[in-house]
Structure 1
Amino acid sequence: MFTINSTDKRLADALQEKIDLKTKPVGALGQLERIAKQAGLIQQSLTPSLNKPHILVFAGDHGIAKEGVSPYPQEVTQQMVLNFLHGGAAINVFCQQHKIELKVVNAGVAGGLPEHPLLIDASMGAGTKSFLQQPAMTLHQAEEAMQRGAEQVKYAAESGCNVIGFGEMGIGNTSSAALLMHKMTGIALAECVGRGTGLDEQGLLRKLAILQKAANQHEQSHNPLQTLATFGGFEVAMICGAVLKAAELNMIVLVDGFIASSALLIAHSLYPEILDYCVACHQSDEQGHRKLLDYLGLEPLLKLNMRLGEGSGVAVAYPLLCSALAFLNEMASFEEAAVSQRSE
């Protein structure tokens, strides 16, 4: 479906030498050095750049939301999308602050949405089925959603974008992400399930019981796409396809929180090389996210106790990428600055 290759490592030594010869102790810029090297490998350049950054926020409703797993009603998905379109959400503010192009993709919102310059209609329908009763979607729907997500990345790349992140909105989608994590990693469900949009202790126990029942009702599948179809959401499937397309196009992929990481988990199970292109922007305060990042071997740039979604972690972390490439491209070397290097 996609062609994902590991990044060509032939420039690795040259990039590392360039980093080490900057006027600083070796390793003194920490994760910024790692990001600069990764960007250079992705772009196959000693002078990588960030062009026309985009965040695509995929929105979709979940049938499981009607089973009592969230303190918010399902219609909040539609209401929040309208808030995105009116410019009132955190992601709007952060994207405007950092000059990031924002698009909202209707992956499958239950309520009607108006035409709007920020909105892309790629809807798969009025939300998924409740996986407490049946698979959330068919295998064909999951594959189609992935392709629709990939198409949006293709359009962004054609505009000149080479760095992209993905956000989401969908009441109930932490339940979807928790089950995807549990089924794909084998980590106990209780360690994957979190408070989502703010459940109290009683609500958390009810959510866990509902999800455990759902997990028990579906046979374990060794096909990642079938697992995605059974427990995923239309927005999760689209993010999965979007991540894969971005890597195929040699773009820097900025990974947001728990739900976006669950989509990456499916993508990684299909194409392990995907991680070469991914930067984990933050560690969500959602309980399962740290263990999911550990499973994927990703080190987050930030830990700010955020659990908003929307791509907010991507937008907040983006300036760190700018700093990483600025030091690589603009900082003087010891030779250029006539500064003595460390004596052995």
Structure 2
Amino acid sequence: MKRFSIVAPSEKIVPALREKIDALTKPKGSLGRLEELAMQIGRIQQTLAPRLSCPYNIVFAGDHGIADEGVSLSPKEVTRQMISNFIEGGAGICFLSRQHGFRLRVVDAGVDADLSGVRELIGLKIRRGTRNYLYEPAMTLQEMELAVERGASVVRDCHAEGCNVIAFGEMGIGNTASSSMWMHCLTGIPLEKCVGAGSGLDAEGIRHKYDVLRRAMDRYTGDGSVEDVMRWFGGYEMVMAVGAMWQAAELGMIVLVDGFIMTNCMLAASRLYPDVLHYAVFGHKGDESGHALVLGELGARPLLDLGLRLGEGTGAVCAYPIVDSAVRMIGEMATFAGANITKYF
């Protein structure tokens, strides 16, 4: 599998960042999380004057073979239909991207439909949906490696256009089930605590979903490694997102992490490259039942809690103005010395 050079940003700049933030015209620490974000972003960019440039949200789309077992309220054709909605600008992520100045890109990672003629769609399809992991691995090792590389290539293209802050979202029927499997396998949290309503299952539907996933887990014969869990239970769109996160971290970009599915992608990414977490800003705590638990496993403190569970990158993009405020704070506020104000703390 493609290797990445991901290292923790240097700590040497931290005292200077702390001094600059404390010299701004406010009581020390009074801007709370904004100060923490400014420290993180300044450290990522290794500058006392961080900036945000050309934000992108990438939606990776793909279908899951496990959906054939009725683990989702929605049929697979919804993925294809939503692709058109993204392209036409009618989806939830579309109005948020317009509102907050994000460029939106949609990637066909493995949708179970022929989308070759869809304009503005980035066609990187590995296969028309993954295999059903109730009976066999979702993808081959070669397919997983290809998905990692293709996800990384999308980020390289965005970076070449001047992007230094990027969010990832997903569209794919069955991907909350697959995310639950990653969460269980990579954290040891009991499976029943990892399984939720997804796109809107009722209590009976959740019980059925759990039963299917438990049987799939019982039949798992892999070696339990991160790579094996990714390929056995993952989706092409999820693996592409992992590769994209690794590439963004290697390039020193800020990664805005969305909801349950993308948090589990960051979980997988961090299990192989722990330093990827230095580049992650967790946008929100979603309404999927396992999201708070996996956030806790990562030691993450999300910026928002709005009861969101749409995916697509919506929570990450909603949180972007807070990140922007942190950068504006360190870049635009006057200092006590510059404004000729006596420190009042």
The reply to whether residue 156 of structure 1 matches residue 158 of structure 2 is yes
Alignment of 1:166-177 (within 5 A): 166-177=168-179
Partner of 1:271: 273
Identity percentage of aligned residues: 48
TM-score between both structures, scaled by the size of structure 2? 0.97
Deviates more, 1:178-187 or 1:32-41: 32-41
Q: Secondary structure at the match of 2:12?
A: helix
Q: Secondary structure at the match of 2:337?
A: helix
Q: CA deviation digits over 1:59-95, x for unaligned, max 9?
A: 0000011101011111111111111011110111110
Q: CA deviation at 1:338?
A: 2.1
Q: When the two structures are aligned, how many residues end up with a matched partner?
A: 343
8 Å contact 2:198–2:288 — kept in the other structure? yes
Partner of 1:341: 343
What value does the CA root-mean-square deviation take over the aligned residues?
Answer: 1.1
Q: CA deviation at 1:185?
A: 0.3
Partner of 2:236: 234
Alignment of 1:87-98 (within 5 A): 87-98=89-100
Partner of 1:321: 323
- Which of these residues, 85, 88, 104, is aligned with residue 86 of structure 1? 88
Q: 2:186, 2:8 → 1: CA distance? A: 22
8 Å contact 1:165–1:311 — kept in the other structure? yes
Partner of 2:41: 39
Moved over 3 A (4+): 114-118
Q: Which amino acid is the alignment partner of residue 119 of structure 1?
A: L
Q: Which amino acid is the alignment partner of residue 335 of structure 1?
A: A
8 Å contact 2:116–2:123 — kept in the other structure? no
In structure 2, stretches of 5+ residues that fail to align are: none
The reply to whether residue 209 of structure 1 matches residue 211 of structure 2 is yes
Q: Secondary structure at the match of 2:13?
A: helix
Q: CA deviation at 1:219?
A: 3.1
Q: CA deviation at 1:143?
A: 1.2
Q: Which amino acid is the alignment partner of residue 79 of structure 2?
A: T
Partner of 1:7: 9
Q: 2:259, 2:144 → 1: CA distance? A: 21
Q: 2:238, 2:129 → 1: CA distance? A: 12
Instruction: Describe the shift of the 1:33–1:118 C-alpha distance in structure 2 as closer, same or farther (beyond 3 A).
Output: farther
Deviates more, 1:58-67 or 1:312-321: 312-321
Q: Secondary structure at the match of 1:337?
A: coil
Alignment of 1:297-316 (within 5 A): 297-316=299-318
Q: CA deviation at 1:114?
A: 5.0
Q: CA deviation digits over 1:3-46, x for unaligned, max 9?
A: 10111111011111111111112211111111111111111110
8 Å contact 1:129–1:136 — kept in the other structure? yes
